[in-house]
Amino acid sequence: MTESFLHYVWQHQLLSGGLTTTDGQPVVVLRAGDLNHDAGPDFFNARLRIGEMEWAGNIEVHVRTSDWKLHRHTQDAAYNNIILHVVYEHDCDIVLQNGEAPLTLELKPWLHPSLIANYDSLMAPTTGSDIPCRHRLGDVPSFVVNSNLERLVVERIEAKSETVRRMLGESHGGWEDTCYWLMARYFGGKVNALAFELLAKATDQRLLARWKDNPQRTEALLMGQAGLLDGFFADDYPRQLQADYVALKTGAGLKPMDGYLWKFHRLRPSNFPTIRISQFARLVSESSNLFSTLLELTDVKQIERLFNQQAADYWKNHYQFDRVAAKSMVKRVGRMQADLLIINAWVPLLFVYGCEHGSQAHKDQAVGLLSQLPPEDNAIIRVWRQAGIEPTNAAESQALLHLYNNYCQNRRCLDCRIGFHILKRV
Residues at the site binding ligand SF4, with contacts judged by CB under 6 A: 122, 131-133, 403, 407-408, 412-413, 416, 418-419, 422
Q: Decide: residue 418, CB within 10 A, 0-12 exposed, 13-18 middle, 19+ buried.
A: buried
Nearer to ligand SF4, 81 or 386 (CB): 386
Nearer to ligand SF4, 105 or 399 (CB): 399
Other CB atoms within 10 Å distance of the CB of residue 359: 13
Q: Are 64 and 88 within 8 A, CB to CB?
A: yes
- CB 387 to ligand SF4: min, Å: 9
Could you tell me which of 426, 417, 421, 424 has the C-alpha nearest to residue 147? 417
3-state secondary structure 357-425: CCCHHHHHHHHHHHHHCCCCCCHHHHHHHHCCCCCCCHHHHHHHHHHHHHHHCCCCHHHCHHHHHHHCC
Nearer to ligand SF4, 115 or 131 (CB): 131
- CB 392 to ligand SF4: min, Å: 18
Nearer to ligand SF4, 211 or 420 (CB): 420
Q: Are 51 and 36 within 8 A, CB to CB?
A: no
Q: What value, to the nearest 5°, has the Cα angle with vertex 115 and ends 111 and 121?
A: 140
Could you tell me which of 309, 352, 33 has the C-alpha nearest to residue 184? 309
Nearer to ligand SF4, 228 or 403 (CB): 403
Nearer to ligand SF4, 188 or 419 (CB): 419
DSSP state of 41: -
Other CB atoms within 10 Å distance of the CB of residue 375: 19
- CB 122 to ligand SF4: min, Å: 5
DSSP conformation letters of 42-98: SEEEEEEEETTEEEEEEEEEEEETTHHHHTTGGG-GGGTTEEEEEEEE--S----TT
Nearer to ligand SF4, 135 or 357 (CB): 135
End-to-end CA distance of the chain: 18
- CB 389 to ligand SF4: min, Å: 9
- CB 123 to ligand SF4: min, Å: 9
Amino acid in the structure at residue 292: S
Nearer to ligand SF4, 366 or 400 (CB): 400
- CB 414 to ligand SF4: min, Å: 8
- CB 107 to ligand SF4: min, Å: 22
3-state secondary structure 92-103: CCCCCCCCCCCC
DSSP state of 343: I
- CB 10 to ligand SF4: min, Å: 19
Q: What value, to the nearest 5°, has the Cα angle with vertex 413 and ends 407 and 417?
A: 95
Nearer to ligand SF4, 64 or 417 (CB): 417
- CB 377 to ligand SF4: min, Å: 20
